[in-house]
Amino acid sequence: MILTVESIKPALALACPLIAALLILLSNRRPNLRESWTLIAGLFQFAIILSMAPMILRAQTIEYTLLTGMLPGINFGFKVDAFGLMFAMTSSFLWIIVSIFSIGYMRALQEHAQTRYYFCFALAIFGAVGVALSGNLITMYVFYEILTISTYPLVVHEESPEALFAGRKYLAYLLTSGVFLLAAIALDYSVSGTTDFNPGGHLTLASASRPFLMILFLLFLLGFMKAAYIPCHSWLPTAMVAPTPVSALLHAVAVVKAGVFGIVRIVCYVYGTDTMGELGLGVMLASFAAVTMIGASLFAIAQDNLKKRLAYSTISQLSYIIFGVALLSPMGVTGAMIHIPLHGFMKITLFLCAGSILVASGKKNISEMAGIGRRMPVTMFAFTVGAFGMCGMPATAGFISKWFLGLGALQNGNLIFLAVLLISSLLDVVYFFPIVYTAFFGNAEGMDSNWKGSKRIKEAPLFMIIPLSITALFSIIFYFPNPVSEALLHMANLALSH
């Protein structure tokens, strides 16, 4: 029995970035004040979200209704359960990290339009945390679209023709997907009369005919194109033209995570694992995800641009999450859910490293990075941690989620899925290991000769080194038994309990 508690905390948590966004606009001319608003709001938000954790761990859910009876049977309001809180905690914590990094990055590169940048960043977090805390699909849709719109200016930040193209592609994909999502939500509402998230779902075979439910699921899947599954993935690598902290936001904190978060919500809380199984949608979704996991890894191998390679890695890793829920087994779902925060920490480490390499050396391609590990030891060490985590090596956080996913595949009883998981992990090693190897053991002479006359490459500013060290450290800490990772696992278990 889950107890429901009424609390204003979810609304307060959302108010933080919104107020911060306004204050950022007002302190346009005073950069230090502007950036401190971001940090203060981030700390407040994280504190508020963290303060909800004890209640969630006691198997309670927190509800707060802003508008009652928006449509019959639907309130505009929040319902914080274990799964939502996991995502909200990840986003809000990583917001602080990315903000610190952004200060270093944007100032080091003397970027233009920084007020717009921080403003949109705060709005994007508003959207992401809103998605995490929403209690039903319509509320979620509102925040989901805010997230799309607010990240557009970030993607086109550079304002070059290339960036404009990326921005158009970004909007074309994501707003089209928003249209599908709206259609799906409206149809879901018309058959079930509700769009609330319940563990076990609100759609059953009795609600509508089988073909209807299957088409509806397809619409939902198209609606969550932010999850960047193949063949709807190409906006993500294109969007890599954005500044690196933005890529980190897209990949680790907000955008794509909101997509997979949505898919998990649909599978576990709208359809419910039972209905999914009866409809045979689990196998379909898992096959989808399997294609993406392997396909994206193959694409990644072919990339020389570091950020592009990371982008394809994200596409592949997101499908681990989709894959996990598609297994429809408890362990698989647990693995999928904890992979959201764990992947967030590891991927943000990798992106922050890519950003600091760019700032320190101006290098974007892997082939040019030979020996850079000796010039930037901290950065590259953190990168190694992240990369090993991605491959799922023991002693990194990535191992835990892969372990659960593997168990989930076994529980599902389908050995082909286990094989897919293993092959994909192997491919991860294939494209990550060369980067690490080149960085540490590559011939550094070419590097020095390239930079003769200019200053020697050294570590990036502290504003950038500290955040990436923190996230790298977390990527290791999560592996070892400690209260934080136990709490995460406990939450993932609670998330599905009725």
Residue 58 has which token pair?
A: 């006691």
Under the binding rule (CB under 8 A), the answer on residue 489 touching other proteins is: no
Is residue 289 classed as helix, strand or coil in its secondary structure? Answer: helix
Cβ-contact 14, 46 below 8 angstroms: no
Q: Which is nearer to other proteins, 135 or 167 (CB)?
A: 167
* Minimal distance, residue 150 CB to other proteins, in Å: 10
Q: How far apart are CA 133 and CA 95, in angstroms?
A: 16
Residue from 40, 146, 222, 422 binding other proteins (CB under 8 A): 146
Q: Which is nearer to other proteins, 69 or 446 (CB)?
A: 69
Q: How far apart are CA 162 and CA 349, in angstroms?
A: 26
Q: 60-71 and 74-80 as β-strands: parallel, antiparallel, unpaired?
A: antiparallel
Q: Which is nearer to other proteins, 48 or 155 (CB)?
A: 155
Under the binding rule (CB under 8 A), the answer on residue 109 touching other proteins is: no
Q: How many residues bind other proteins (CB under 8 A)?
A: 36
Sheet bearing 3-6, strands edge to edge: 3-6, 60-71, 74-80
CA atoms within 13 A on the CB side of 300: 32
Q: Which is nearer to other proteins, 131 or 439 (CB)?
A: 131
Please report, for residues 24, 89, 171, 404, the alpha-carbon distance to residue 348 in angstroms, rounded to integers and kept in the order given. 24, 15, 23, 22
Q: How far apart are CA 155 and CA 171, in angstroms?
A: 10
The stretch among 42-50, 168-176, 307-315, 419-427 that binds other proteins (CB under 8 A) is 168-176
The stretch among 88-96, 156-164, 338-346, 358-366 that binds other proteins (CB under 8 A) is 156-164
Residue from 107, 168, 169, 374 binding other proteins (CB under 8 A): 168
DSSP 456: P
Radius of gyration for the alpha carbons in the chain, expressed in angstroms and rounded: 21
* Minimal distance, residue 67 CB to other proteins, in Å: 5
Site residues for other proteins, 8-37, by CB under 8 A, read 28-29
Under the binding rule (CB under 8 A), the answer on residue 141 touching other proteins is: yes
* Minimal distance, residue 260 CB to other proteins, in Å: 21
Q: How far apart are CA 250 and CA 28, in angstroms?
A: 24
Site string for other proteins, 299-338 (x = CB under 8 A): ----------------------------------------
Under the binding rule (CB under 8 A), the answer on residue 72 touching other proteins is: yes
Residue from 156, 352, 354, 464 binding other proteins (CB under 8 A): 156
Under the binding rule (CB under 8 A), the answer on residue 182 touching other proteins is: yes
Q: Which is nearer to other proteins, 29 or 458 (CB)?
A: 29
Q: Which is nearer to other proteins, 189 or 479 (CB)?
A: 189
Site residues for other proteins, 188-227, by CB under 8 A, read 189-190
- 77 phi, psi to nearest 5 deg: -165, 180
Q: Which is nearer to other proteins, 146 or 476 (CB)?
A: 146
Cβ-contact 21, 79 below 8 angstroms: no
Within 10 A of 342 (CB to CB), how many other CB atoms are there? 27
Residue 339 has which token pair?
A: 């992979």
Residue from 10, 42, 135, 167 binding other proteins (CB under 8 A): 167
The stretch among 38-46, 151-159, 377-385, 389-397 that binds other proteins (CB under 8 A) is 151-159
Identify any residues that bridge with 71 across adjacent strands, giving them in sequence order.
74
Nearest to 124 by CA among 235, 240, 251, 309: 251
The stretch among 109-117, 303-311, 335-343, 433-441 that binds other proteins (CB under 8 A) is 109-117
Q: Which is nearer to other proteins, 25 or 466 (CB)?
A: 25
Q: 74-80 and 3-6 as β-strands: parallel, antiparallel, unpaired?
A: unpaired
Query: Residues with Cβ < 8 Å from 42, sequence gap 6 or more?
Result: 16, 20, 92, 95, 96, 99, 125
Under the binding rule (CB under 8 A), the answer on residue 351 touching other proteins is: no
Q: How far apart are CA 276 and CA 205, in angstroms?
A: 10
Cα distance from N-terminal residue to C-terminal residue, the chain = 7
Dihedral sign computed on CA atoms, order 53, 55, 58, 62: negative
Tell me the DSSP string of 254-282.
SHHHHHHHHHHIIIIIII-HHHHHHHTHH
Nearest to 313 by CA among 294, 301, 297: 297
Under the binding rule (CB under 8 A), the answer on residue 112 touching other proteins is: yes
Q: Which is nearer to other proteins, 76 or 451 (CB)?
A: 76
* Minimal distance, residue 273 CB to other proteins, in Å: 27
The stretch among 49-57, 82-90, 176-184, 361-369 that binds other proteins (CB under 8 A) is 176-184
Q: How far apart are CA 24 and CA 241, in angstroms?
A: 24
Residue from 8, 159, 437, 462 binding other proteins (CB under 8 A): 159
Residue from 187, 410, 422, 430 binding other proteins (CB under 8 A): 187
Site string for other proteins, 113-132 (x = CB under 8 A): xx------------------
Q: Which is nearer to other proteins, 177 or 469 (CB)?
A: 177
* Minimal distance, residue 180 CB to other proteins, in Å: 8
Q: What does the binding site for other proteins look like in residue numbers (CB under 8 A)?
A: 28-29, 67, 69-72, 76, 112-114, 141-142, 145-146, 148-149, 153, 156, 159, 163-164, 167-168, 171, 175-176, 178-180, 182-183, 186-187, 189-190
